[in-house]
Amino acid sequence: MQITVVGAGNMARGIATRALAGGHSVTVTAKDPGNAVRLVDELRGQATGEGRLAAADASAVDTADIVVLAVPFDAAKQLATAYGPRLSGKVLIDISNPVDASLDALVVAPGTSAAERIAEAAGPDVRVVKAFNTTFATTLVAGEVNGTPLDVFIAGDDEAARKQVADLVTSGGLNPVDVGALRHARELEGFQLLHMALQIREASHGWASTIKIVAP
């Protein structure tokens, strides 16, 4: 698949690393083109896999199969609105967690989610999927915690889009967990709020933990 990652921060690095490990082609675009170029240069020296890698301007969303908004919630909403019809029919992955600065509360109203707000901004023809919001950047680069592959929870109203994201996840060596409709992004964002809050408390996990479903 052709994956366009919008953003050049730590989460962009982690997701691009997994996509490249899965053999996909990855294009990075960012508000600051220089940041996209620097990330691509770093990935060329570090990433495994045979996927093609490039930096580009925002036109990269036009040729993508999957567009990943690897940016904070407010920026993701703005980008979804700006891209609009250019994303028609495409899979748009929202990774954001709408949390306040103290990691004490969500900033979206009860009964909704960042993913649902982004879907509204993008328009009805864009297939929005929530994924990667429960994984931290450093664990994504490694692909595991203590030898255990990461779970990636996936929510979306389009079953084919969820399957496409699950294929991306699996190819990168991770474990997809399909939780169903996009409204379940509310629960994913809620328990990631708690997971994030644990990182800043005494005896924290140092942003190196993960949420895992363990079953017989």
- Residue whose pair of structure tokens reads 């664990």 in the numeric block: 139
pLDDT in tens, 100-158: 999 999 999 999 999 999 999 999 999 999 999 999 999 999 999 999 999 999 999 99
Query: Residues 17, 155, 196, CA angle at the centre, nearest 5°?
Result: 65
* pLDDT, mean of residues 52-68: 96
Q: What is the pLDDT of residue 22?
A: 95
Per-chain mean pLDDT for the chain: 95
* pLDDT, mean of residues 58-76: 97
- Residue whose pair of structure tokens reads 């019809």 in the numeric block: 85
CB hemisphere CA count around 77 (13 angstroms): 11
- Spatial distance between the Cα atoms of 76 and 6, rounded to a whole number of angstroms: 9
Q: Model-level pTM greater than 0.85?
A: yes
Q: What is the 3-state secondary structure (H, E, C) of the chain?
A: CEEEEECCCHHHHHHHHHHHHCCCEEEEECCCHHHHHHHHHHHHHHCCCCCCEEECCHHHHHHCCEEEECCCHHHHHHHHHHHHHHHCCCEEEECCCCECCCCCCECCCCCCCHHHHHHHHHCCCCEEEECCCCCCHHHHHHCEECCEECEEEEEECCHHHHHHHHHHHHHCCCEEEEEECHHHHHHHHHHHHHHHHHCCCCCCCCCCCCCCCCCC
Q: What is the pLDDT of residue 45?
A: 82
Q: What is the pLDDT of residue 148?
A: 95
φ/ψ region of 134 (left if φ > 0, alpha if ψ in -120 to 50, else beta) reads: alpha
pLDDT over 70 (residue 2):
yes
Q: What is the pLDDT of residue 88?
A: 95
- Spatial distance between the Cα atoms of 168 and 186, rounded to a whole number of angstroms: 22
Q: What is the pLDDT of residue 51?
A: 73
Q: What is the pLDDT of residue 47?
A: 65
Note whether 66 and 90 are within 8 A (CB): yes
